[in-house]
Structure formats: C-alpha cells, structure tokens
Amino acid sequence: MFVFSFDVPNSLIVALIFTVAFKIYYEATKGVCMSSKRLDGKTIIVTGSNTGIGKATALDLASRGGRIILACRNLKKALVAKDKIVEKSRNPNVLVKELDLTSFTSIRRFAADVQKTEPKLHILIHNAGCGDIEQKTTEDGLEHQMQTNYFGPFLLTNLLLGLMIETGEKEKENVRIVNVGSDGHFSVGDLNLDDLNFSYERSAKTIWSPVQNNLWLPIKIYGTSKLCVILSSCELARKLEILGKPVTVNSLHPGGVYTEFSRFSKILSFLKSPAEGAQTSIYLAVADEISNVSGQYFRDCKIAQPSELARDKEFAKKLWEVSERLVRLEPKEKFF
Ligand SMILES: NC(=O)c1ccc[n+]([C@@H]2O[C@H](COP(=O)([O-])OP(=O)(O)OC[C@H]3O[C@@H](n4cnc5c(N)ncnc54)[C@H](OP(=O)(O)O)[C@@H]3O)[C@@H](O)[C@H]2O)c1
Ligand SMILES: *[C@@H]1O[C@H](CO)[C@@H](O)[C@H](O)[C@H]1NC(C)=O
Ligand SMILES: *[C@@H]1O[C@H](CO)[C@@H](O)[C@H](O)[C@H]1NC(C)=O
C-alpha cells in the first residue's frame, strides 16, 4: 500500500525545492540586458536620475561612454549622484540640468537649454515618477501625480521631438524615446477623458471619507497616469511611423524594485535591486535587435501585453488631443 507521510525532514525538503524552484524561476524571468553596445558620441537624457532606477540606468549608460544628462529637480542630490556615476563609470561626460516636472515653466526652460547646448539627442528616458498618498495640485493647476508621471513628460517629449528627429536623420539611425510605465496601469478599468485632471473625482465626497475622496483615489490616479504613459507612447509611435520619422517610442514596466519609491515596503526583500530594475530601460535604450521596434510595452526585456484599455488606438488618439490642450502646447511647439 502506498502511504504518503509528511514527516519533518520531508517537508523541509519540499520547502527547499519550492524555494530553489522559485529562485530559479525568478532569476530566469527577471530579464537582463545582454547588449554590450557602446554609446560613444551619443547624448542621453535620463529624468529622475539622482536615485533609484534612474540612477542605475544613468550609471550603466555612462559606462558605455555616452554623454549623460541627469535631469533632476534637486540639484544638490543630483550633483552627489553625478560624482558617484563619474567615479564608478570613469566617464567624465556626465552633467546635471534642472528639471521639475510639476512646473511647465521648468520643463520649457530645460528643453530650451538642451536645444541651445546639445547639437544632438539620441536617447530620451522618461524615468522620473511619483506615487502620492495625498492630494496635491501643481502650480499649473493640474493633479500632481498626473503631471509628474504623464503631462510633464508628454510636454517634454513634444518640445524635444524636433531635435531628436533631426538627430535620427543626420545619423541615419533611429533615435529612441523610452517611457517608464508600470503594471500598475492594469488596476485601471476606465479612463474619463473629460476629467484627466480628476477635478470632479477629487471634489466628490464619498462614504469612505466625508472630507475628501476615498483612500484608493491616489492609487487609481497613479495607475491612470501610467496608463496614459503607455497609451501616448503607442500614439506617438504611430504618428512618427506614418511620417517615416527615425524615432522609436516604447514603454516598460521595471518590475517591483526596491527604491525610495517603495521604501515603505522594506520587508519585501524579493524586490529587484535598482540595477536589476534598470535592465529593461537599458535594453530599450541600447539593444540592436529592437532598433526598429516601436509602440510596444516591455517587461523583463521582452515585449509584453499591456491592458486592453492600454491597447485601444482610438482612445490613444483622443488622449493625445486632450493632453495637448491640458499642457497648453503652443502652435509653434506642435510637431504634428
Ligand atoms: N520601484 C518600483 O517598484 C516601480 C514599479 C513600477 C514602476 N516604477 C516607476 O519607475 C520609475 C522610477 O522609480 P523609482 O522606483 O526609481 O523611484 P524613486 O527612487 O522614488 O525615484 C524617482 C525619481 O523621480 C524623481 N522625481 C519625482 N518627482 C519629480 C519631479 N516633479 N520632477 C523631476 N523629477 C522628479 C525623483 O527625484 P527626487 O529624488 O528629487 O524625489 C527621483 O529621482 C518611476 O516612474 C516609477 O513610477 C517603479
Ligand atoms: C485641475 O484640478 C484642480 C483641483 O480640482 C483645479 O483647481 C484646476 O482648475 C483643474 N485644472 C484644469 C485644467 O482643469
Ligand atoms: C531596421 O530597418 C532598417 C531599414 O528598413 C534595416 O536596414 C535594418 O536591418 C533593420 N534592423 C533590424 C534590427 O531589424
């Protein structure tokens, strides 16, 4: 007769096998950029690169010989990061420029500075982002997370597009826009294009809280901001493809990464390190095999499927138009 007995040593072995299997699975799927591509002569902007995933991304790209512009809101923190990056990469061609995404004035000043000082721009990595737990409005009168994660990067992309297209045409090679999104967008089931600023929802009182909207609203706004990042990446890729312009645009989920962003979850030691979390951003910036791939969503250095809503092309088109209005893009700033 077959008897299955679970004595202590057995269950220990089972637990060990599961742990090892999980670790193997995790290591196999976490995604590493294997490209050894050099970036000598290339100019790269990484936003929010004084810490976390952005700093790890900038360090890797600096090690490949590129000219790296750290676009950060806090110059003091950015200069400390710059010194570290220069020291570790042995590449002195790393500079800091001020960029605060919660201010359209700051974004326009940054873009004008880049246009003035940089003859070329090969790679633009929109990495900066925030996850709020409270309600805030920016100086431009927009919801704080929406502007930091989506409207600000949207405006900056539009302002730098001309320079990037020129660069691609001169180099006869695609230049690249990389947008850090998030799987957090899966939590969003609908998108109200008439209230991208969440003015209505933020003012609505609910049974959860008589003072302001419910506890989940900031999380929903975060997911929405990342959904917009993915949708607008696809729409920009489509617009550029129609015109045959040498610029690719892709978005990505970095994974669950242990950074300042997730500092509240220190116990989650299975999270990726910043260097691991930077792999998909680096891959999209340098890998040769995807030099013609555009409008896709990546996870662990592989094409992945975003949510159904994130794949709605008609929706993406409308979102682009509404966004142009909300960031008050001037006629002379419009490329399309
Ligand atoms: N960590 C994760 O598990 C995870 C998961 C999915 C997606 N992501 C995304 O990955 C990206 C990087 O996140 P991280 O984990 O590395 O976070 P982090 O450690 O908090 O770094 C975020 C960076 O963005 C900058 N930033 C925030 N607001 C800004 C503003 N208004 N203007 C300019 N820069 C601003 C921060 O600057 P300060 O240092 O001055 O605050 C910092 O450099 C974000 O877009 C995030 O949404 C992260
Ligand atoms: C965005 O929302 C804030 C707060 O509800 C409001 O003050 C502001 O006027 C709104 N801005 C736009 C452009 O709708
Ligand atoms: C990308 O497209 C160009 C032009 O069509 C082609 O010459 C090149 O081989 C393609 N590269 C890859 C990696 O497919």
Predicted local distance difference test score (pLDDT) of residue 330: 96
What HEC string does 217-253 produce? HHHHHHHHHHHHHHHHHHHHHHHHHHHCCCEEEEEEE
Nearest ligand 3 atom to the CA of 288 is 13
Helix (H) or strand (E) holding 273: none
**Is there an atom of ligand 3 within 6 Å of 214 CB?**
no
327 CA distance to ligand 1 centroid (A)? 21
- The dihedrals phi and psi of 194, each to the nearest 5 degrees, come to -85, -10
Asked if residues 335 and 161 have their Cβ atoms less than 8 Å apart, the reply is: yes
Architecture (CATH level 2) of domain 24-333 = 3-Layer(aba) Sandwich (3.40)
Tell me: the pLDDT tens digits for 193-245?
A: 999 999 888 877 655 554 555 678 889 999 999 999 999 999 999 999 999 99
- DSSP calls for 73-101: S-HHHHHHHHHHHHHHHT---EEEEE--T
pLDDT at 1: 44
> Which atom number of ligand 3 is nearest to the Cα of residue 289?
13
Q: Whose atoms come closest to the Cα of 140: which ligand?
A: 2
| Among the listed residues 129, 117, 44, 54, the one whose alpha carbon sits nearest the alpha carbon of residue 84 | 54
| Encoded tokens for 293 | 């791939």
pLDDT one-digit tens code per residue, 141-161 = 999 999 999 999 999 999 999
pTM for the model stands at 0.91
Calculate the CA 249 to chain-centre distance: 12
Does 199 contact ligand 2 (Cβ within 6 A)? yes
| Nearest atom of ligand 2 to the alpha carbon of 326 | 13
pLDDT in tens, 79-122: 999 999 999 999 999 999 999 999 999 999 999 999 999 999 99
Is residue 137 lining ligand 2, measured as CB closer than 6 Å?
yes
| Catalytic choice (222, 258, 283, 297) | 222
Q: Compute the C-alpha angle 191/102/66, nearest 5°.
A: 100
Mean pLDDT for the chain overall:
91
Nearest listed ligand to the Cα of residue 136: 2
Radius of gyration over every alpha carbon of the chain, rounded to an integer in angstroms = 21
Compute the distance between CA of residue 52 and CA of residue 261 in angstroms, rounded to an integer.
Answer: 8
Distance 222 CA to ligand 3 centre (A): 36
Q: Is 222 labeled as catalytic in the residue annotation? A: yes
